[in-house]
Amino acid sequence: MALADPAGCARGSEDSSPFPDIIELNVGGQVYITRHPTLVSVPGSLLWQMFTQKNSRSLARDSKGRFFVDRDGFLFRYILDFMRDRQLVLPEHFPERGRLQREAEYFMLPELVKLLEPKLSQQNSLGDDPCQSDPEEPSPGGDTARSLASAA
């Protein structure tokens, strides 16, 4: 099937941008379709730099004319979701947090990088680690929890 537009996208007529309003991306073999305003929603980010250029011809394209980004296509969904509404929503027990943080760094999204940093508790540098080795600062209710555990 041949596409009329080389990028496979509808061109918006309301601005002088060389990019269409609807953009197809191939990120590491995964196809994403999003709006141009989403891709430029974080000023200074890599996607903002790519999609605010005056000449779209300098960007890599795949064989179907989609803009190509040579990164992890599965993790890009979280990058794109973050750019849409500035929230980080991950599945429970998400094992690839470190890899996603690296992707956020690559795409120059410092807000997302910060959200993905390992959390240290304000009250306890060990965070939620149940194996506390410092007996000088017991956690509130810790004695109750220990006595309940030993009673079981």
Specify the pLDDT at position 2: 42
Name the phi and psi angles at 100, rounded to 5. -65, -35
C-alpha span between 68 and 65 (Å, rounded)? 9
Residue 143 located in a structural domain: no
Averaged pLDDT for residues 105-132: 74
Instruction: State the total domains in the chain.
Output: 1
- Would the pLDDT of 26 be above 90? yes
93 φ/ψ sector (left φ>0, alpha ψ -120 to 50, else beta): left
How many other CB atoms are there within 10 angstroms of residue 46's CB atom?
Answer: 17
Those residues whose C-beta lies under 8 Å from the C-beta of residue 112, and which sit 6 or more positions away, are 79, 82, 88, 104
> pLDDT tens digits, residue range 76-118?
999 999 999 999 999 999 999 999 999 999 999 999 999 999 8
pLDDT category, 121, cuts 50, 70, 90?
Answer: low
Residue ranges making up the domain that contains 103: 22-116
Residue 96 located in a structural domain: yes
- The residue ranking higher by pLDDT, 43 or 148, is 43
Those residues whose C-beta lies under 8 Å from the C-beta of residue 83, and which sit 6 or more positions away, are 38, 39, 41, 42, 45, 47, 109
- The residue ranking higher by pLDDT, 144 or 105, is 105
Residue 81 located in a structural domain: yes
Q: How far apart are the first and last CA of the chain?
A: 67
Residue 110 located in a structural domain: yes
Residue 82 located in a structural domain: yes
In this prediction the pTM is 0.68
Specify the pLDDT at position 123: 54
Residue 125 located in a structural domain: no
CATH classification of the domain holding 59: 3.30.710.10
Residue 133 located in a structural domain: no
Residue 47 located in a structural domain: yes
C-alpha span between 126 and 61 (Å, rounded)? 46
